[in-house]
Amino acid sequence: MTEAELDLPALYLSDETAWLEAMAELIESGDHAALDFANLREYLTDMARRDRREVESRLIALLLHILKWEFQPALRSRSWQASILEQRQELEGLVDRGVLRHHAEAVLADSYCKAVARAAVETGMPDETFPEDCQYTVDELLAYEPLSKS
């Protein structure tokens, strides 16, 4: 590692990827005292926050598409079907481990409320058209299979 790379706080601001590589090298070499702990804490906190936002975003999108699928059967399309499958698969990849699975379960009710609000706008139907509470568990959402037009 060069002298310039040892100024980790400056490297963090100028080239995050190089900073990550430098941090990995320090960990691998066992030089833990040289780690940029302040920025490492910030980076890890941001990553965790980003992962949680991603889970919520995928949940809302999946619920929105399921609501539209179920409450507008005459408008069902392959595009809607593909959207449900995409969101389900992406969410499944995120929540296959403990912490994000627990987060998905914790935010499911709030995500459902947000999906209902969006579904009402997109469909032109009043909020009251949709069930007040989410009718699905996270596992049921991950297993949801939109069937072709009825």
The count of domains in the chain is 2
**CA 106, 108, 109, 114 torsion: positive or negative?**
positive
**Banded model confidence at residue 50, pLDDT cuts 50, 70, 90:** very high
**Same structural domain, 78 and 10:** no
For residue 57, give its domain range: 51-143
* Phi, psi dihedrals of residue 137, rounded to the nearest 5°: -95, 170
Average pLDDT value over all residues in the chain: 92
Task: List, in sequence order, the alpha helices (H) in 72-97.
Answer: 78-94
Single out the residue of 111, 95, 94 nearest to residue 60, CA to CA.
Answer: 111
**Same structural domain, 105 and 72:** yes
**Same structural domain, 19 and 75:** no
- pLDDT beyond 60 at 55: yes
The string of pLDDT tens digits covering residues 2-20 is 544 469 999 999 999 999 9
**Same structural domain, 28 and 73:** no
Residue 57 forms part of a structural domain: yes
* Cβ–Cβ under 8 Å, residues 104 and 138: yes
Report the length, in residues, of the chain.
Answer: 150
**Same structural domain, 69 and 22:** no
Residue 130 forms part of a structural domain: yes
**Same structural domain, 110 and 85:** yes
* Cβ–Cβ under 8 Å, residues 65 and 79: no
The string of pLDDT tens digits covering residues 73-127 is 999 999 999 999 999 999 999 998 789 999 999 999 999 999 999 999 999 999 9
**Same structural domain, 93 and 62:** yes
- pLDDT beyond 50 at 134: yes
**Same structural domain, 23 and 55:** no
Q: Against a cut of 0.85, is the pTM above it?
A: no
- pLDDT beyond 60 at 43: yes
Q: With pLDDT > 70 as the criterion, what percentage of the chain qualifies?
A: 94
Residue 41 forms part of a structural domain: no
Residue with tokens 């909020």: 127
pLDDT, residue 4, reads 46
Residue 40 forms part of a structural domain: no
pLDDT, residue 6, reads 67
Q: Which long-range contacts (CB under 8 A, 24 or more apart) does 33-38 make?
A: 34/6, 34/8, 35/8, 36/8, 36/9, 36/12, 38/9
**Same structural domain, 25 and 56:** no
pLDDT, residue 67, reads 97
